[in-house]
Amino acid sequence: MPFHEHHETDSETENAGGSESYAPAAFVGENYDKQAVFPRVKERDPYRRLGIDAEASYEEVQDARNYLVDTYRGHSAGVESIEAAFDRIIQDKLNTRKKAKGLRLARKKERDPNYVPPFLERLKSQFERPDDQTIVRRAVIFSIMAGWAIVQSTSSGPAFQMAISFGLTVYFLHEKRGKNKDLLGKAFVNAFVALVLGWLVGSIFPVYIPIFPSAWGPELILSLFSFVAFFVFATFLK
């Protein structure tokens, strides 16, 4: 049953021991008191400021906000206070919903030891395991590229071997997808992603795990990680 807003002093509100109720904004219309002052501007609790319970639904929060803004539209400080309380409540409910979602996921993990997060499921669906012969052949090819780059590192950089590996990755992906011309661009993009991913990992890994010979320059180390990324994409990416 809707309540009608009545104006009261701060002391009267405190003596009442509760929050001021609200009525739907539709009951206010144009017949509002331009001199009306929102009495709970300094109320810290956003729910009490809007005159609602902490368990109020989003619709109830929205109705309370609309009603109060319409009622006290002539009091700018009051409108700002109402809007601030509304924003705090909405943010609080969003945070509560996120926490509840996290708890549901945690409980789901406890119930199902084989649970995989959705984003990992999507990532996993982009890869597939080919036959062993294909894996061995691709591993040998990219190992040769890596070994060649190491041998040539004293005289030249690994740019040539990287270019060949990039081209091989594009070729293998394009071949796997039926040599569809419409998918050739996608193969180039995938090869470029593999290159960037290899360089990113290669720039971080040696910093925390310095296992490479000091004679190997940064360019060679980065290329080795790129060869691994090329192998993974060319072999397992759908």
The answer on 163 and 107 residing in a single domain is no
Complete DSSP assignment for the chain: ---------HHHHHHHTSPPP---GGGTTT---TT---TTTT---HHHHHT--TT--HHHHHHHHHHHHHHTTT-HHHHHHHHHHHHHHHHHHHHHHHHHHHHHHHHHHHH-TT---HHHHHHHTTB----HHHHHHHHHHHHHHHHHHHHHTTTS-SHHHHHHHHHHHHHHHHHHTTT-GGGHHHHHHHHHHHHHHHHHHHHHHHHHS--S-TTS-HHHHHHHHHHHHHHHHHHHB-
Give the pLDDT confidence of 60-101 residue by residue, as tens digits: 988 999 999 888 888 888 899 999 999 998 888 888 888 877
The answer on 166 and 87 residing in a single domain is no
The answer on 104 and 200 residing in a single domain is no
- Tally of structural domains, the chain: 2
The answer on 140 and 213 residing in a single domain is yes
**Full-prediction pTM beyond 0.85?**
no
Give the pLDDT confidence of 164-211 residue by residue, as tens digits: 999 999 999 999 888 887 888 999 999 999 999 999 998 998 878 888
The answer on 103 and 15 residing in a single domain is yes
* % residues pLDDT > 90 (the chain): 33
Q: Is residue 1 in a domain? A: no
Domain extent for 208? 132-236
Q: Is residue 228 in a domain? A: yes
